[in-house]
């Protein structure tokens, strides 16, 4: 099907035109997308649920602002996985189009809200670490739990408001304007604005983490130059090296996962997309889900406190398992089975 004359058909805003956006033409492509979404989505929900449990089961971690930001990130990634996988697979794999324009825009708003909240939570985490390394003596005064909750409230309300604009009227059907070639009913100007919002978030995250990396590098260089004092300073140097490695991983994964999608979105605003590029965009969209799956590994499991909590949970499960195997009932059952044999 030739780009399905998207601009002409989409401008009619008929639900039937959604078939033009169902770009997966072969069974192999549909199975590949369904497998990627199922695998990434399941792992993402499991990993982030574990992170939320570890944070809120420990009084020490749930009181700290930095862990509140990580829990917001985990919650956003869980919502992104559920909404994205359900809507994306239904649309592209099962070719579900038996819903109204409002229902589609509501689903798209949910996906945009959760992914935007995920990136915004990464930004708050970046700012938290930026303040902790640039103004360590004032950190506890500047980053209180109350301010952390206010920042999270502003974050979620802002993301939900921006994502709801197409449903509230900023769409090409209501405005009779140019429709996007990548999303049904979405106005090109709205897509441009949303891209700018995401680019600002990514730029701020990269700036904050680059500054933290630079400060960590400075500290490591200073410690290597003055190796007279050991003890706490050597420990601090090892922590800074680990932080630098973690942040390098963060930036690498973030750029690799989001760049392809953003580049294709920007390209779609200025040029017509072929069917091949639109298929590429469908597959690249799963990279955002991959980013949500990798987030808990980078942010949470590399945290010393959460890793210790995870080890305690595993130890508790092992003890419970061993206790159930060594219980008198299990032993008597084992003996009776031997006698019967």
What is the reported pLDDT for 110? 93
**What b-and-e string marks burial along 60-79, b requiring 16 or more CB atoms within 10 Å of the CB?**
ebeebbbbbbbbbbbbbbbb
User: Which tens digits make up the pLDDT trace of 44-68?
Assistant: 999 999 989 888 888 778 888 888 9
User: Which tens digits make up the pLDDT trace of 104-129?
Assistant: 899 999 999 999 999 999 899 888 88
CB 282 within 8 A of CB 92: yes
315 domain residue, yes or no: no
* Close Cβ partners of 281 (under 8 Å, ≥ 6 residues apart): 182, 261, 264, 265, 268, 273
pTM for this predicted structure: 0.83
299 domain residue, yes or no: yes
Q: Considering its fold, how many domains does the chain have in total?
A: 1
Residue with the bigger pLDDT between 308 and 35: it is: 35
What is the reported pLDDT for 337? 43
What is the reported pLDDT for 15? 54
Specify the range with the lowest mean pLDDT, choosing from 22-26, 125-129, 232-236, 243-247: 232-236
What is the reported pLDDT for 220? 66
95 domain residue, yes or no: yes
Residue 268, domain extent: 25-308
| CA dist 78 → 41, 111, 164, 291 (Å) | 8, 11, 19, 12
What is the reported pLDDT for 1? 40
DSSP summary character for residue 119: H
157 domain residue, yes or no: yes
pLDDT of 239 > 80? The answer is: no
- Which pLDDT band holds residue 338 (cuts at 50, 70, 90)? very low
Q: Any idea what the CATH number is for the domain that residue 81 is in? A: 1.20.1070.10
Mean pLDDT for all residues in the chain: 81
- Which pLDDT band holds residue 6 (cuts at 50, 70, 90)? very low
CB 50 within 8 A of CB 310: yes
User: Which tens digits make up the pLDDT trace of 90-106?
Assistant: 888 887 767 788 888 99
Residue with the bigger pLDDT between 41 and 225: it is: 41
281 domain residue, yes or no: yes
* C-alpha dihedral sign at 175, 176, 177, 183: positive
Q: In 169-187, which ranges are continuous DSSP H helix?
A: 172-175
pLDDT of 307 > 80? The answer is: no
What is the reported pLDDT for 217? 72
129 domain residue, yes or no: yes
Here the contacts of 197-204 (C-beta below 8 Å, separation 24 or greater) are: 197/116, 197/162, 198/116, 198/119, 198/258, 198/262, 199/262, 201/116, 201/119, 201/120, 201/122, 201/123, 202/119, 202/254, 202/258, 204/123, 204/126, 204/127
- Which pLDDT band holds residue 227 (cuts at 50, 70, 90)? low
Specify the range with the lowest mean pLDDT, choosing from 90-94, 135-139, 305-309, 322-326: 322-326
* Close Cβ partners of 59 (under 8 Å, ≥ 6 residues apart): none
Distance of CA 292 to the CA centre of its chain: 3
205 domain residue, yes or no: yes
122 domain residue, yes or no: yes
- Residue 171 pairs in a beta bridge with 186
CB 88 within 8 A of CB 119: no
Alpha-carbon gap, residue 159 to 260, rounded angstroms: 22
What is the reported pLDDT for 299? 73
What is the reported pLDDT for 244? 60
* Residue the block writes with tokens 């089975």: 337
CB 23 within 8 A of CB 278: yes
Residue with the bigger pLDDT between 280 and 132: it is: 280
Specify the range with the lowest mean pLDDT, choosing from 12-26, 231-245, 263-277: 231-245
User: Which tens digits make up the pLDDT trace of 177-211?
Assistant: 888 888 888 999 999 999 999 999 989 888 888 88
CB 118 within 8 A of CB 32: no
* C-alpha dihedral sign at 130, 134, 140, 146: negative
């Amino acid at each position: 099907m030739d780009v399905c004359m998207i601009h002409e058909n989409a401008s009619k805003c008929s639900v039937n035109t959604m078939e033009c956006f169902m770009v997966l033409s072969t069974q192999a492509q549909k199975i590949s997308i369904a497998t990627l979404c199922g695998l990434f989505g399941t792992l993402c929900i499991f990993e982030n649920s574990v992170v939320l449990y570890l944070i809120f089961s420990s009084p020490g971690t749930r009181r700290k602002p930095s862990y509140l930001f990580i829990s917001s990130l985990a919650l956003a990634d869980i919502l992104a996985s559920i909404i994205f996988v359900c809507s994306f697979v239904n649309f592209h794999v099962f070719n579900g189009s038996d819903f109204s324009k409002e229902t589609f825009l509501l689903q798209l708003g949910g996906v945009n809200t959760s992914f935007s909240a995920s990136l915004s939570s990464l930004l708050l985490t970046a700012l938290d670490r930026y303040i902790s390394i640039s103004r360590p003596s004032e950190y506890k005064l500047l980053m209180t739990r109350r301010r952390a909750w206010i920042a999270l409230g502003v974050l979620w309300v802002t993301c939900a408001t921006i994502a709801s604009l197409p449903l509230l009227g900023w769409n090409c059907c209501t405005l009779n304007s140019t429709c996007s070639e990548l999303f049904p009913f979405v106005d090109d100007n709205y897509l441009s604005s949303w891209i700018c919002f995401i680019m600002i978030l990514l730029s701020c995250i990269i700036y904050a983490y680059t500054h933290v990396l630079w400060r960590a590098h400075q500290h490591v260089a200073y410690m290597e130059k003055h190796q007279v004092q050991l003890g706490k300073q050597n420990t601090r140097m090892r922590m800074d090296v680990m932080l630098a490695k973690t942040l390098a991983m963060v930036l690498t994964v973030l750029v690799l996962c989001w760049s392809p999608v953003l580049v294709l979105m920007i390209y779609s605003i200025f040029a017509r997309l072929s069917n091949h590029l639109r298929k590429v965009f469908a597959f690249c969209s799963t990279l955002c889900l991959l980013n949500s799956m990798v987030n808990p590994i980078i942010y949470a499991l590399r945290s010393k406190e959460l890793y210790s909590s995870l080890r305690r949970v595993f130890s508790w499960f092992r003890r419970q398992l061993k206790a159930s195997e060594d219980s008198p009932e299990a032993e008597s059952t084992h003996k009776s089975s031997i006698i019967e044999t």
